[in-house]
Amino acid sequence: MTARKKAAARKPAPRKKKAPGKKPAPGKKTTVRKKVARKKAAPSRSGSERRVYFFGKGRAEGRAGMREVLGGKGANLAEMTRLGVPVPPGFTIATSVCTEFERAKGRIPRVVRDQAAQALGRVERAMDRRFGDPERPLLVSVRSGARVSMPGMMDTVLNLGLNDRTVAGLAERADPRFAYDSYRRFIQMYGDVVLEIPHERFENRLEDLKDARAVDLDTELGADDWRGLIAEYLEVVEEQTGAPFPQDPQAQLWGAIAAVFRSWGNERAVRYRAIHGIPGDWGTAVNVQAMVFGNMGDDCATGVAFTRDPSTGERFFYGEYLKNAQGEDVVAGIRTPQPINESSRKDDSAVLPTLEDEMPRPYRELVRIYRKLEKHYRDMQDIEFTIENGELWMLQTRSGKRTTQAAVKIAVDMAKERLISREEAVQRVAPDSLEQLLHPTLDPEAERTVLAKGLPASPGAVFGRIAFTADEAETRARAGEKVVLVRVETSPDDIHGMHAAEGVLTARGGMTSHAAVVARGMGKSCVAGCGSLSIDAAAGVLRVEGHELRSTDTLTLDGASGEVMLGEVPTVTPELGGAFSELMRWADGFRTLRVRTNADTPLDAQTARAFGAEGIGLCRTEHMFFEPTRILAVREMILASDAPARERALRKLLPMQRGDFAGIFRAMQGLPVTIRLLDPPLHEFLPHDESDLKALAASLGRDIAGIRAKVAEVREFNPMLGHRGCRLGVTFPEIYRMQVRAIVEAACEVAEAGTTVKPEIMIPLVAWVGELSQLRTLVDAEIAAVLAERGRRRVRPTIGTMIEVPRAALTADAIAAHADFFSFGTNDLTQATAALSRDDSGKFLPEYLDRGIVQDDPFASLDEEGIGRLMQIGLEGGRRTRPDLKVGICGEHGGDPKSVRFCHRLGFDYVSCSPFRVPVARLAAAQASLADGARPRQTRRKRGRGGS
């Protein structure tokens, strides 16, 4: 055939002309085309919606962007396949089927079974093996895969497809020891996961066998040993279930798939989702994948690796592997893994060979693949691999769990390497995780008694009393006790205890064990693989180096060095720099919301400034009154019988308060300082115990009966709504006059020494405009008097109010006429609006959270629908009256990332939080600004006389 004829043969037949009629509108035409395209793309042969997605031999029906459908594991398996990475073929059952499964009370739709059968046939062809064939059996793994990583929380079944017939066929093709070892593993795993037989029933039989053979490791047992153990395992199954172990591979497959779907609702998965804020309606996908074996001999291995160090973020390939082993052996910590290369060696004394030494060709291929994956995903990857007969297979890649220290360094380094932008780097780090960087480390000068050393699995220095079980750790932590969870090895069932504990110590396991991975993700200190420990959890005894320790004993863990120390070792505040400083500098360049701190002392102020605070948003003067050197003068002032007596006591307090404020002004070096005048009810400063009352009477030279009567007089039934805040200023104006004088005199003193000062005086608990107008007159008069005395004109305090009463928010337009700034006190505003007591709501709020009545603790994260609506009303009302009104927030919510984002959306000028939460708020504010398009800070309009 000529070239012209070939071209003619390929040419499509001419279309039939449409009958004349009305042309569809262009928009309609496009829509029709799109619908037709979708129908053509529909991959299901049954004509139903696709629920099963095949991957293998370089082709995949899914891709990385389909995490919601395929889960993270399934999406990444498909993407790796598309990239040409060697991935064993398989198929993924969509997350939507999990939801259908739950609604149908454990039934899997027929269409899913049909699509899975078609996909399984493709896997058989790709592997040239048959599922259930006794001569060339195809074995598969069945694994979970949520859209976000939940390591170890759900179930997995390996070696599925083995039975009494297929194991014989496998033994003929491969080493009999390997075949029967695989079968006994499958029976044990299937029995535990699917048949719900306690795994101890199997483990006890295995331990008895090892004792009888006088061996320590599974690898020391032979094929005949495994055959005998298999017979025992089959007996265990029949004893526990009343039925033989299922021999039909199809029954095995669907039993395992159902078990993985059920595991989405198991207790540990539910707890993990609650801890990490993962919605319960997402469901999990199921991945069915051809097995490749790392336990067929000495040219086989299995391992876990990270493309960068997950503890420090350093840029080197890091991981562990085991020869002649299956994947669960690495993460379970049953055997001590070997480093994949010299960079991964954490213990200088170790002499174990590396993967690079033992299997150089697969190692070189692994290096090539990890670089390709990190470049493609633009993030540090956690990869799982198996080497079967010298051939490398990739089983998984995902964004690796990492410590906060590592997250910061990786984000900054990747931006410098031009893998990601600075904007992405700032968005890569969870703001609330920064607190993990800001807590103390061990004091290098402190004496310590080192009991043992394990692997430095997750950094951080912590101490606590020993807890031997997860339940014990959770119970004692709830009671306010600091505990360290001590286990031989952790399992996913320990998740709640790990969350409750200060840190985790295990006798077994490596740097990629369950304890290490989960602790790093939680930001918990962890020392793993501490082999010198002898732990008897049942007896509640830990033996190490001649010491016998119990639950009353305290341990200190250093997750950075792996050291375990006896007792409580002193700590020091870490120095921040390097990648952290750079990331925060980038964040500051994007954010428009200022970040201040809540600080009551010069030391607090200095700490906050070191963390980047741009002022003080709340200085609580009452905290200064509790100092032992001044509490007597405060009580003398409260117990005074008339104004002159009160003023005499206040004159004693004046120099003390003036010194406090001067110290804070000096520490803040020209940054704004908002000082709240006295807020709490007076009875809080008085003693109530009889012996203390007698001591007070003696100190003041007063009659005890008169003291008792006065204490009873100021006591209130509901002090939160009683005689406090501005009400004290109205009824006892001399108190506020003294405080204002102390503030202004301190400002003049510091200014005279050459330091700029920006004092802001805040009047608390205003509900009626008349309260603020009268007190503003009082404050203005006292300011004018002090300035006249000192001759200072450059000290110009601003005067504002705290919006913490619902009525104030609703009438903010009137209140703003007398205020230079508003600061929302969201703690009290939440209490007053929701009728919730911060002190008592803990008795029932956890149940409200469990039942979904509230999504967040309203004292931890702003209730945007309720409290947030009042804040919006107050903000809009205030700025209608005063467009230049400066508005901030000074409750505990100022350090909560979600609340910071809300304040940014409303258009607040600043948030204020505790010193250690300042970096959290800075990063959260930057991320909020980036979500809005990252307006440059210089375009931000200035409000108010106090600057920021």
Burial of 890 (0-12, 13-18, 19+ CB in 10 A): buried
Would you call 291 helix, strand, or coil by DSSP? Answer: coil
Query: Between the CA of residue 303 and those of 170, 332, 529, what are the distances in Å?
Result: 23, 12, 17
Residue 105: both structure tokens together: 């009370």
- Interatomic CA distance for residues 108 and 101, integer angstroms: 6
Closest CA to 675 of 798, 804, 805: 798
Place of tokens 């003291």: 707
Asked if 624 and 660 touch (Cβ cutoff 8 Å), the reply is yes
C-alpha closest to that of 601 among 663, 669, 658:
663
Q: Is 857 exposed, middle or buried (0-12, 13-18, 19+ CB in 10 A)?
A: middle
Task: Output the CA torsion sign for 470, 471, 477, 483.
Answer: negative
- Residues 484, 564: Cα–Cα separation, whole Å: 11
Distance CA 621, CA 485 (A): 41
DSSP code, position 794:
S
Q: Are strands 59-60 and 571-572 parallel, antiparallel or unpaired?
A: unpaired
Contact in structure between 303 and 355 (CB atoms under 8 Å): yes
Amino acid at 754: G
Q: Tell me how long the chain is.
A: 948
Tokens 């204020």 appear where? 912
Q: Which of 39, 90, 25 is nearest to 62 (CA)?
A: 90
3-class secondary structure, 146: strand
384 contacts 327 by C-beta, under 8 angstroms: yes
Question: Among the residues of 380-466, which ranges form H helices?
Answer: 404-416, 422-428
Cα(318)–Cα(306) distance, integer angstroms: 5
Describe the crossing of helices 579-590 and 404-416 by its angle, rounded to 10 degrees: 70
- Rounded to whole angstroms, how far apart are CA atoms 497 and 275? 12
Q: How far apart are CA 473 and CA 482, in angstroms?
A: 9
List, in sequence order, every residue forming a beta bridge with 304; answer none if it has no partner: 320, 384
Distance CA(282)–CA(68), nearest Å, equals 8
Handedness of CA 731, 734, 740, 746 (dihedral sign): negative
Question: 557 pairs with which residues across the strands?
Answer: 462, 564
Q: Which of 300, 496, 499, 514 is catalytic?
A: 514
CB contact at 8 A, 943 and 885 = yes
Give dist(CA 888, CA 871) in Å, integer: 10
Number of Cβ atoms within 10 Å of the Cβ of 42: 11
Each as own residue / partner, the long-range contacts of residues 315-319 (CB below 8 Å, 24 or more positions apart, any chain) are 315/413, 316/343, 317/341, 317/343, 317/344, 317/367, 317/370, 318/343, 318/344, 318/511, 319/344, 319/383, 319/512
State how far the Cα of 684 lies from the Cα of 862, in Å rounded to an integer.
28
Token output for 174: 């491969």
| Catalytic-labelled residue, pool 526, 619, 890, 913 | 890
Rounded-to-integer distance, Cα 243 and Cα 239, Å: 8
Place of tokens 């889960």: 71
According to DSSP, residue 547 is labeled E
CA–centroid distance for 302 within its chain: 29
Known active-site residue 890: yes
Catalytic residues: 514, 890
